[in-house]
Chain A
Amino acid sequence: EDKVVQSPLSLVVHEGDTVTLNCSYEVTNFRSLLWYKQEKKAPTFLFMLTSSGIEKKSGRLSSILDKKELFSILNITATQTGDSAVYLCAVVNSGTYKYIFGTGTRLKVLA
């Protein structure tokens, strides 16, 4: 059965800290891995990763994929209170194109 596990479940940091969120997966046919940010409503797309070792970057956020060890990390540097959200990881099965979501990491950034 395809599975995505995110860790930690929740995290509290102070503004300016750097955080690393983890996503490990088991999937029969891997196509891609996606990160979403969910504040109070819709998950919003952050990154799609398909190749190992290539960092995707957007401002203070970056992410990388390791297809050999079957995980991805999402880094946020110089955190701000606006980064407080649930971060979701999803893996796409290349046979079905269906998304398998993890349960998310809840990040709270204190001023």
Chain B
Amino acid sequence: DAGITQSPRHKVTETGTPVTLRCHQTENHRYMYWYRQDPGHGLRLIHYSYGVKDTDKGEVSDGYSVSRSKTEDFLLTLESATSSQTSVYFCAISENRQETQYFGPGTRLLVL
């Protein structure tokens, strides 16, 4: 298994509070991704990173920001959580953009 961990694994928070999810990899891969998974939808890309301090938006980026200050860590922040952001969040990594993406174990977020 690719060395990817996510923290926390579960979180319950209230509407309007900030939330930060962390993805950590030990593979030294250049690309890292954040997806959300919701019933009736496939995995949808939120943001991705192609290097330290290099990030770009995915298809559902509104309400989310990301940061990557080290190769191994990619943070996803919900500045002010809303109930529509209740979801399961997956991090993925790939060696470069042409290579297969491998997924972390996921974070289940509930916004009340």
**Measuring CB to CB, which residues of chain A are less than 8 angstroms from any residue of chain B?**
4, 34, 36, 41-45, 48, 88, 90, 97-104
Q: Per a CB cutoff under 8 Å, which of A99, A102, A103 touches B101?
A: A99
Least distance between B60 CB and chain A CB atoms (Å): 12
Can you add 5 more A-B contacts, CB < 8 Å, to A43-B103, A88-B43?
A: A34-B100, A43-B43, A97-B98, A99-B101, A101-B43
**Measuring CB to CB, which residues of chain B are less than 8 angstroms from any residue of chain A?**
1, 4, 40-45, 58, 90, 97-98, 100-106
**A2: nearest chain-B partner, CB-CB:** B59
Contact between chains at A45 and B102 (CB < 8 Å): yes
CA distance A100 to B104 in the complex (A): 18
Q: A36 — which chain B residues lie within 8 A by C-beta?
A: 103
Contact between chains at B42 and A42 (CB < 8 Å): no
Q: Per a CB cutoff under 8 Å, which of A44, A48, A103 touches B42?
A: A103
Task: Across the A-B interface, give the 10 residue pairs with the lowest CB-CB distance, nearest first.
Answer: A101-B42, A97-B97, A42-B103, A101-B43, A41-B105, A43-B103, A42-B105, A103-B42, A102-B42, A41-B106
**B33: nearest chain-A partner, CB-CB:** A99
Least distance between A29 CB and chain B CB atoms (Å): 13
Q: Per a CB cutoff under 8 Å, which of B40, B45, B100, B106 touches A42?
A: B106
List 12 A–B pairs whose Cβ atoms lie within 8 Å, in order of A's numbering.
Answer: A4-B42, A41-B106, A43-B103, A44-B1, A45-B100, A45-B102, A88-B42, A90-B42, A90-B43, A98-B58, A103-B40, A104-B42
